[in-house]
Amino acid sequence: MGYPGQRPVIPPQSHRDDRETLVSEHKHKGKTCRQSAAVFNVVNSIIGSGIIDFSLILLIKGAALSGTDTYQSLVNRTFGFPGYLLLSVLQFLYPFIAMISYNIVTGDTLSKVFQRIPGVDPENLLIGRHFIIVLSTVVFTLPLSLYRDIAKLGKISLISTVLTTLILGIVVARVVSLGPHIPKTEDAWIFAKPNAIQAVGVMSFAFICHHNCFLVYGSLEEPTVAKWSHIIHVSTLISVFISILFAACGYLTFTGYTQGDLFENYCRNDDLVTFGRFCYGVTVILTYPIECFVTREVIANVFFGGNLSSVFHIIITVVIITVATLVSLLIDCLGIVLELNGVLCAAPLIFIIPSACYLKLSEEPTTHSDKIMSCVMLPIGAAVMAVGFVMAVTNPQDCSHGQEMFYCSLDNFSLTNISVSHFQLTTQLSILNVSVFQ
Mean pLDDT per block of 10 residues along the chain (438 residues) reads 35 39 41 58 50 73 87 90 92 90 91 89 87 95 91 82 89 91 84 68 67 74 80 78 85 87 87 93 92 90 87 96 95 78 85 91 88 87 84 72 78 49 36 36
Does a structural domain hold residue 436? Answer: no
Does a structural domain hold residue 6? Answer: no
Asked if residues 98 and 145 have their Cβ atoms less than 8 Å apart, the reply is no
Domain of 224 in residue numbering reads as 25-404
Question: At a CB cut-off of 8 Å and minimum separation 6, what does 314 contact?
Answer: 146
pLDDT at 197: 65
pLDDT at 169: 92
Looking up residue 287, the CATH number of its domain turns out to be 1.20.1740.10
pLDDT at 15: 37
Q: Domain total for the chain?
A: 1
Does a structural domain hold residue 427? Answer: no
Does a structural domain hold residue 18? Answer: no
Q: What residues are paired with 224 via a beta bridge?
A: 21
Per-residue 3-state assignment (H helix, E strand, C coil) for 150-174:
HHHHHHHHHHHHHHHHHHHHHHHHH
Does a structural domain hold residue 385? Answer: yes
Kindly report the pTM of this predicted structure. 0.72
Question: At a CB cut-off of 8 Å and minimum separation 6, what does 163 contact?
Answer: 279, 280, 282, 283, 286
DSSP string, 86-134: HHHHHHHHHHHHHHHHHHHHHHHHHHHHHHTSTT--TT-GGGSHHHHHH
Does a structural domain hold residue 270? Answer: yes
Does a structural domain hold residue 302? Answer: yes
pLDDT at 417: 44
pLDDT at 190: 79
Which one, of 228, 236, 258, lies nearest residue 45 by Cα? 236
Does a structural domain hold residue 20? Answer: no
